[in-house]
């Protein structure tokens, strides 16, 4: 097969491109705004991999690149709640308008399927647990709104133009290649790098907020299974278990052998309080079956960051 991976130099996209390149031709599209060349350096000379530097906001580039593709894995996004609060216009341009570009170019170029990254942030702070795809969206940030708009466009394009679209609502993904240095970095790489550096992790809030963490290899599995199936619609991708940030720090402290009491700061605007997924729909539709318990994933993540410390 010939697959396109937008955002293929990013954290999730590069892990996905790695796995796809074992058996398929892969075209990576990334403008390196948040993705990193070092994530795909080992793929640049791969006989089945092509790298196109550019943005999903460039429709002409997509129209030139998509012909002949068997499917699009759409991972490109500005994936940050705080950044979206700071600059909702940029987030909308990339996440919402960029997704329309991807869907339109797929339609115009005859690509039959798009599997796209969405987010659990769509559920907001609805108190019902676990989160099910049938729940009404209650987004709390421009980021969540922009991803919800993408899902709606996906359904409309499927209904109007016959493209099969599947949007995967990622919960809290972690693992190798996650960037700890950004101002808007996710919590796990920040916790790991601070602990490995002998510094206390910083928690925004009281630390009792909960998350449903999922290792990146399981997210890769979900994307490929969704593409290879007839799945369409929206699907939760998570581990189906939640832990608090205080518990997370305790686990990471044991793995790293470091004892640093967290620093607690004020909660951030737009952050949700608790998160837990029902993953039944993805399991039934395309056999999604997460293989990595949180503790095992954290050990692998710590080992990766330790090698690069």
Written as tens digits, the pLDDT of the chain (309 aa) is: 999 999 999 999 999 999 999 999 999 999 999 999 999 999 999 999 999 999 999 999 999 999 999 999 999 999 999 999 999 999 999 999 999 999 999 999 999 999 999 999 999 988 899 999 999 999 999 999 999 999 999 999 999 999 999 999 999 999 999 998 877 678 999 999 999 999 999 999 999 999 999 999 999 999 999 999 999 999 999 999 999 999 999 999 999 999 889 999 999 888 889 899 999 999 999 999 999 999 999 999 999 999 987
Active-site residue identified among 3, 143, 153, 170: 143
Q: What CATH number should be reported for the domain holding residue 18?
A: 3.40.50.720
Does residue 301 belong to any structural domain of this protein? no
DSSP states of 204-224? ESSS--EE-EEEHHHHHHHHH
Number of structural domains, the chain? 1
Does residue 131 belong to any structural domain of this protein? yes
Does residue 262 belong to any structural domain of this protein? no
Contact criterion met (CB below 8 Å) for 74 and 115: yes
Active site residue 143: yes
pTM listed for this prediction: 0.95
β partners of residue 172? 213
- Residue 163 CB burial class (10 angstroms; 0-12, 13-18, ≥19): buried
Handedness of CA 201, 203, 208, 209 (dihedral sign): negative
Does residue 75 belong to any structural domain of this protein? yes
pLDDT digits (tens, 9 = 90+) for 153-184: 999 999 999 999 999 999 999 999 999 887 76
What single DSSP character describes residue 121? G
What single DSSP character describes residue 297? H
Does residue 38 belong to any structural domain of this protein? yes
Any residues with CB less than 8 A from the CB of 184 and at least 6 apart, and which?
80, 81, 82, 83
Range of the domain at 79: 2-174+214-239+276-290
Chain centroid to CA 114? 15
Task: Give φ, ψ of 35 to 5 degrees.
Answer: -70, 165
């Amino acid at each position: 097969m010939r697959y396109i991976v937008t955002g293929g130099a990013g954290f999730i996209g590069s892990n996905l491109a790695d796995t796809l390149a074992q058996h398929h031709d892969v075209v990576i599209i990334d403008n390196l705004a948040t993705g990193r060349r070092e994530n795909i350096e080992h793929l640049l000379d791969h006989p089945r991999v092509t790298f196109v530097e550019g943005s999903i906001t460039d429709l002409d580039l997509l129209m030139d690149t998509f012909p002949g593709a068997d499917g699009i894995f759409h991972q490109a996004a500005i994936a940050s709640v705080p950044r979206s609060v700071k600059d909702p216009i940029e987030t909308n341009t990339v996440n919402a308008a960029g997704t329309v570009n991807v869907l339109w170019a797929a339609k115009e170029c005859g690509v039959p399927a798009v599997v796209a990254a969405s987010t659990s942030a769509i559920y907001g702070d609805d108190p019902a647990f676990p989160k099910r795809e049938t729940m009404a969206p209650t987004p709390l940030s421009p980021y969540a709104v922009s991803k919800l708009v993408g899902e709606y466009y996906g359904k409309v394009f499927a209904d109007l133009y016959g493209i099969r679209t599947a949007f995967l609502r990622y919960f809290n993904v972690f693992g190798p290649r996650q960037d700890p240095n950004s101002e808007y970095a996710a919590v796990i790489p920040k916790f790991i790098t601070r602990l490995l550096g002998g510094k206390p992790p910083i928690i925004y809030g009281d630390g009792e907020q909960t998350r449903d963490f999922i290792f990146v290899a399981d997210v890769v599995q979900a994307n490929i299974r969704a593409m290879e199936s007839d799945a369409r619609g929206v699907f939760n991708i998570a581990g189906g278990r939640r832990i608090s940030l205080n518990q997370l720090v305790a686990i990471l402290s044991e793995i790293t052998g470091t004892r640093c009491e967290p620093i607690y700061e004020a909660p951030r605007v737009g952050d949700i309080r608790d998160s837990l997924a029902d993953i039944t729909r993805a399991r039934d539709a395309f056999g999604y079956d997460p293989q990595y318990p949180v503790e095992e994933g954290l050990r692998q993540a710590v080992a990766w960051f330790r090698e690069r410390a």
